[in-house]
Amino acid sequence: MNYFNENPDLVLTFDKVVDWQRVVPLVCGPEANVADTVATWRELLSVAGEYIGTEIAGRAKQVDEIGVIRDGGRVATSEPMNENLRGLADLGFVGLALPEAHGGSGLPIVLNSLGVAMIARACAATMVEFGIGYAEPAAMIVRFGTEEQKRRWVPGVLRGATKGAVAMTEPQAGSDVGNVQTSARQEGDHWCLVGRKQFISAGNGDFVIVLARSQAGSSGLDGLSLFIVPREGDNYVVERAEHKFPIRGSTTCSLVFESSRAELLGEAGGGWKEILTFMNESRIAIGLQGLGIAEAAHEKAARYAAMRKQMGLPIREHPMVAEMLLDMETTIAGLRAIATEASTLQDVVTHSKDESATRQLRELTPLVKWYGSEEVVRVCRSALQIFGGYGVVTEYEIERHMRDVLILPIYEGTSQIQSLMAVRDLMRVILRHPASLLRGGPTPMLGRARFGGDFAAARGTLVGSLRGLIAGMARRGGLALVRGRRQPTEDEIRPFMLHAERITETLAHLHVARSLLEQAARVPERRAVADRAARRARIVAKRNAEAIASGDGGVFARVDEWARERATPSR
Instruction: Show which residues are catalytic.
Output: 412
C-alpha–C-alpha distance, residues 14 and 17, integer Å? 6
Residue 521 makes CB contacts below 8 A (sequence gap 6+) with none
Q: DSSP characters for 31-95? A: TS-HHHHHHHHHHHHHHHHHHIIIIIHHHHHHHHHH--EEETTEEE--HHHHHHHHHHHHTT-TT
Q: Catalogue the E-assigned strands of 364-521.
A: none
Q: What single-letter amino acid sits at 266? A: G
Q: Catalogue the E-assigned strands of 415-506.
A: none
CB-based contact 560:491 (threshold 8 Å): no
C-alpha–C-alpha distance, residues 302 and 287, integer Å? 22
SS3 assignment, position 261: strand
Element of type H or E holding 191:
strand 190-201
Residue 91 burial (C-beta neighbours within 10 Å; 0-12, 13-18, 19+): middle
CB-based contact 116:372 (threshold 8 Å): no
SS3 assignment, position 183: strand
Which letter, b or e, does each residue of 36-70 get, where b requires 16 or more Cβ atoms within 10 Å of its Cβ? Answer: ebbeebbebbeebbbbbbeebbebbeebbebbbee
**Can you give 193-231 as a three-state secondary structure string?**
EEEEEEEEECCCCCEEEEEEECCCCCCCCCCEEEEEEEC
Which letter, b or e, does each residue of 449-460 get, where b requires 16 or more Cβ atoms within 10 Å of its Cβ? Answer: bebeebbebbbe
Residue 127 makes CB contacts below 8 A (sequence gap 6+) with 116, 119, 120, 289, 292
Pick the closest to residue 471 from 548, 547, 543, 396 (CA basis). Answer: 548
Element of type H or E holding 405:
helix 398-405
C-alpha–C-alpha distance, residues 379 and 396, integer Å? 16
CA atoms within 13 A on the CB side of 450: 1
CB-based contact 527:12 (threshold 8 Å): no
DSSP code for 260: E
Q: What single-letter amino acid sits at 523? A: V
Q: How many CB atoms lie within 10 A of CB 558?
A: 11
